[in-house]
Amino acid sequence: MPRFSANLGFLWADRPLLARIAAAGEAGFRAIELHYPYETPPQAVRDACAQTRVKLLGINTAIGSEPPDSGLAALPGREAEARARIEAALNYAVAAGGTAVHVMAGKVPSELRAKARQTLISNLRHAAGRAEALGLTILLEPINRRDMPDYFYDGVEDAAAIIAELDSPAVRLMFDCYHVGVMQGDVLTRLRTHLPIIGHIQFAAVPSRAEPDEGELNYPAIFAEIDRLGYAGWVGAEYRPRADTDDGLGWFRASRTR
């Protein structure tokens, strides 16, 4: 069975961040990942993780300051702000004891795609150089069009092409089974194909984005394939609980008895 991490952007979302970290540890998770933790001092996050004996994995870059910002790295004309957000995320991750930063690309209208790709490559080259020096990983995550229309990339092949062009050991793919399932399908084949560049895996039910015990994707088969492939990283529970987070952890409790 894979090693599961708790994404505290969604799990126990009714509690302050430090209480969420404690709840994850009490539930039996040994790793966590965060969305936008910047209102909490990084040392407080580091201390809470140490007290709870959980490992901090990744955080996201801040999405930006102008609605409807959903990331900045691919937005032409906002390079300075994008790089400032990347630098802030890298520094926070180091101070909090994290290992990775998901660089949010942002929403781009179709007529700006070509220019946006050049902008993204330039910003990611900068981010990769800094991440290599700090011993961190940069993660790229395609996001489905249903949840986030106009997001720069919505397919794993698009992100994989950028990773190949950058050719940096610090830049890896965030393979979210939920986004792949909604946008593309054929999750197991894509997982096998892109395993060499995957830096992190996430999951949620399709189409509901709830616990992985419902919907179109057969998660027992996906988790078994992750094991068979020899993936050694963490697999993040990034779903929206149907109700109380603890009440929906039956899938996780069952996995710990196998």
For residue 120 the two structure tokens come to 């993204």
165 an active-site residue? no
Q: Report the C-alpha gap between 145 and 198 in whole angstroms.
A: 21
Q: Report the C-alpha gap between 163 and 128 in whole angstroms.
A: 11
| Residues listed for the chain | 258
157 an active-site residue? no
Burial 77-87 (b: 16+ CB within 10 A, else e): ebeebbbebbe
Q: Report the C-alpha gap between 1 and 223 in whole angstroms.
A: 7
141, 165, 214, 216: the active-site residue:
141
Q: Report the C-alpha gap between 110 and 244 in whole angstroms.
A: 39
Residue in 21, 55, 40 with CA at minimum distance from that of residue 234? 55
Q: Report the C-alpha gap between 73 and 68 in whole angstroms.
A: 14
Burial of 120 (0-12, 13-18, 19+ CB in 10 A): buried
Q: Report the C-alpha gap between 59 and 30 in whole angstroms.
A: 16
Residue located via tokens 């955080």: 59
- Give the catalytic positions in this structure: 141, 238
